[in-house]
Amino acid sequence: MAYCEYTDVQLEAGTSLGTITTSDITSLISRSDEEIVDMLLEKGLTAPASASQLKTASICLTIAKIKRRQAHELTRPNSLSLGGDISFSINSEAEAAAYESKGRRAVSQYVEYAGGSGVVIVRNHNMIRGY
């Protein structure tokens, strides 16, 4: 079960990904989806086959992993000077953390709204959310 595909990640992250291959991204997607399932299990939920919030979560968590890997292998340096007055600076970890946070928020939204269906989620006989 994959919540997103390589093309979804490529659409958001672009195609210039250093040494990261399509196979690497597919593996990172699988790892992100495992994390999503773990987050859902912690909330007492069974992971569904698909949900738009979980697709967003998978894309964002995967991009966070890509950005961290790029920083570690230096295919995406923190700064670049083109000579003269032209230079660029980024904070790779801040970018990765922002994507990770967005992914975790998407999982939380799924949990809160039970996939947008308005279904009552019951855990330990306590109503968490109902309509």
Domain ranges of the chain: 6-129
Please say if the pLDDT value at position 124 is more than 70.
no
pLDDT for 85 equals 75
33 or 112, which is more confident: 33
Neighbouring C-alpha atoms within 13 Å toward the C-beta of 131 = 7
pLDDT band at 121 (very low <50, low <70, confident <90, very high): very low
pLDDT for 120 equals 43
Rounded Cα distance, 126 and 118, in Å: 16
CB 119 within 8 A of CB 102: no
pLDDT band at 87 (very low <50, low <70, confident <90, very high): low
Rounded Cα distance, 42 and 37, in Å: 9
Which SS3 state, helix, strand or coil, does residue 48 take?
Answer: coil
Considering the entire predicted model, what is its pTM?
0.75
116 or 54, which is more confident: 54
Residues 6+ apart with CB under 8 A from 17: 25, 66, 70, 75
